[in-house]
Chain A
Amino acid sequence: MFDLLLWVWIILGGILIGAGVHFIPVGGAPAAMSQATGVGTGTTMLAAASGLTGLIGAGSAYYLHPGDFAYTIVMGGVSAALMLAILAFIANVMYVFGAGVPLASAKVKYDPITKWRQDLYVSRGTEGHGSPMVSFISGIIGAFLAGVGGALVYFALAETYKAIPGFSATFGSYSAPYYVSLAAAFAIGIFFLNCVMASYNIGGTIEGFHDPKFKRLPKSVVASLVVSAVGGLFALLITVMLPGGI
């Protein structure tokens, strides 16, 4: 029961995850010392935080309304975007009231959204501080895309595994059916493959869609396509390998 359409969905989801990472203001270690724009941690942690929240959102949506495509996808995207908004906001509060730095980007002279002057507020020797409006909005867009991508992967896998005989059983009385947890395990694997590939592409830090590094996106799309094609193929082969279920 190898469904080609579901494979395409997984690949599309992988590409969306990779593209989403390019929008997220990842500051890395310099931002943790408020010396660069973005949230002060690496892509892996940011993606894990917002991506796993997205997967939990998508998973619970799918569990409550099995087979509802739109609900699962939107819940995944919104959960991830919400988590990133909270992360960037709390980090901004700490930068402003804790470290005492204004929110500013060093890559552009004027914020493309608010049109506010940026360069005057960048401390000498630093690359900006915190997440200004453009990075914040960009991050929410990126997390939404990545969440939708993760939810697409999850949905495709859950739909596939639901058909395996014996997979609607649950472990004990508290757990979700087997297909829900197996799909989550694989979706997390494919999520990390794509988000780390994308973070290698941006070299660890990016400010958002106004950053010149954003132009590297096509390379990430190719890498995500191949990586999620292999990962998705392996994930879908499980159904071929378990014709009789467990």
Chain B
Amino acid sequence: MAEGEKSPRQLMAIGVLGGLICIYIAHYLNSGTNSAWFSFIAALGAILAVYYGANAVRRVASYGLGTGVPSIAMLSFGAGQIAVLLGLAVALNYNIVVAGPIIALILAAIIGLVNGVMARRVIKMNIAIMEMSMMEIAMAASLVILGLSTAIAGSFTFNAIMSYVVASGFIIAVFIVGAMAMFHPFNACLGPDERQLRTLNLALSTGFIAMLVAGIASGAINGVQAAVPMLIVAIVGWLIYYMRFWADTKVDAAAVLSTGLIPTEEEVA
């Protein structure tokens, strides 16, 4: 681990605790004020989970999966989607809405662990951290789905998510855009000069793009009060972190040269 890098444990705390806390704050502030002004906080929780998940993808994919970086994120989002919907249904059944996200997180960890064990022991992939990584990425994926869904629906009760996110079809946008936010950073930055800070800055910028999509979707459900704060935060956040990523890229590059314009036909001849 190079100097200035965040350890997996630190990132886990940021992603899991930060993500959960943001989702809870959004849900309770929204239901307390009986509005949807605070939905954007849940999307910020999803971005923290993207931040954590992107580092887990980075760690496992640097071993070389053989199938491309996107595969592990898509698999984990499949697991996360199942875990989130079942977790919220369990919470509804036992009338403990507050425990929904935590149950979803635990279920995601179980499916992720099963996937990891299958990949390592049955398929015999030679990656030592496979079980742990699959579990972590599935947990991060469940938090991303939960965060973006809560941002769209304004609350994380099963009924709200079911009617506003699943039945309306936004779940597919959440699935794809969340997975892309998580796998794109390492997919774009991988190579011998890959650096955690640059990859994670890109993860934050893709996370804000996911938030932008959730913002547009939330406008269809909760109107202006949900969409406007989310779109403003998403655009500002994206600009900040994309500029940071751009600056990091210039720092890490051996040289930044201008190629000039494409030569015209006369100049070539």
Chain A residues near B (Cβ < 8 Å): 28-29, 42-45, 48, 170-172, 175-176, 178, 181-182, 185-186, 188-193, 196-197, 199-201, 203-204, 219-220, 222-223, 226-227, 230-231, 234-235, 237-238, 241-243, 246
Q: A175-B168, A227-B114 are in contact. List 10 more A-B contacts (CB 8 A).
A: A172-B168, A189-B78, A189-B81, A193-B115, A196-B71, A196-B75, A204-B65, A230-B111, A234-B82, A238-B89
| Chain A residues positioned under 8 Å from B77 (CB to CB) | 189, 192
Contact flag A241-B67 (CB < 8 Å), given A186-B85, A200-B123: no
**For residue B72, which residue of chain A has the nearest CB?**
A196
| Chain B residues positioned under 8 Å from A243 (CB to CB) | 93
Instruction: For residue B76, give the distance in angstroms from its CB to the closest CB of chain A.
Output: 9
| Chain B residues positioned under 8 Å from A28 (CB to CB) | 67-68
Please report the C-alpha to C-alpha distance between residue A201 and residue B75 in the assembled complex, in whole angstroms.
Answer: 14
**For residue A231, which residue of chain B has the nearest CB?**
B82
- Cross-chain contact A200 with B67 (CB below 8 angstroms): yes
| Chain B residues positioned under 8 Å from A175 (CB to CB) | 167-169
B158 within 8 A of A: yes
- Cross-chain contact B86 with A241 (CB below 8 angstroms): yes
**For residue B130, which residue of chain A has the nearest CB?**
A200
Q: Report B102-139 CB contacts with A as 1/0, cut-off 8 Å.
A: 00000100110011001100111100000000000000
Most buried by A among B72, B123, B172: B123
Q: Report B57-90 CB contacts with A as 1/0, cut-off 8 Å.
A: 0000000011110111011011101110110011
Contact flag A190-B74 (CB < 8 Å), given A197-B115, A219-B123, A231-B111: no
Main secondary structure of the interface of A (DSSP, over half): helix
| Chain B residues positioned under 8 Å from A48 (CB to CB) | 74
- Cross-chain contact B66 with A200 (CB below 8 angstroms): yes
Contact flag A197-B75 (CB < 8 Å), given A28-B67, A227-B114: yes
- Cross-chain contact B162 with A246 (CB below 8 angstroms): yes
**For residue B125, which residue of chain A has the nearest CB?**
A200
B31 within 8 A of A: no
List the 6 closest A-B pairs by CB distance, nearest first: A192-B78, A171-B167, A196-B75, A204-B66, A189-B78, A42-B68
